[in-house]
Amino acid sequence: MIYDTANSGDTWWRWPNNQSAKPAKASPKEAMFAASNSSLMSPGLNEAFAFVTGGSDGSRLFIAQHHDLLDNGGSSFATMSLPFLRSESSGAFSVAARYPSSGNLSPDIMIVGGDYKRPDSSASTAFFIPFSQMAAFRHAHGAQTPPHGYRSAVAYDEKTKTWITVGPNGTDVSTDDGKNWRALKPKPGQPADADKNWNALSLPFAVGPNGRIGKLRDDALKP
Whether residue 90 is contained in a domain is answered as yes
Tell me the CATH number at 64.
2.120.10
Whether residue 188 is contained in a domain is answered as yes
The pLDDT of residue 13 is 81
The pLDDT of residue 143 is 93
**Does residue 198 carry a pLDDT above 80?**
yes
**Does residue 73 carry a pLDDT above 60?**
no
Per-residue pLDDT of 165-186, as tens digits, reads 999 999 999 999 999 999 999 9
The pLDDT of residue 221 is 83
The pLDDT of residue 99 is 81
Whether residue 4 is contained in a domain is answered as no
Alpha helices in the chain (DSSP H): 66-71, 131-134
Whether residue 37 is contained in a domain is answered as yes
Per-residue pLDDT of 90-120, as tens digits, reads 999 999 998 876 655 678 899 999 999 999 9
Whether residue 123 is contained in a domain is answered as yes
Instruction: Show the domain range for 155.
Output: 15-215
Whether residue 9 is contained in a domain is answered as no
CA–CA dist 215, 16 (Å, integer): 39
For residue 151, give Cα distances in angstroms to 18, 58, 94, 176, 209.
37, 17, 8, 18, 15
The pLDDT of residue 19 is 57
Whether residue 5 is contained in a domain is answered as no
Whether residue 86 is contained in a domain is answered as yes
Domains in the chain: how many in total?
Answer: 1
CB 88 within 8 A of CB 99: no
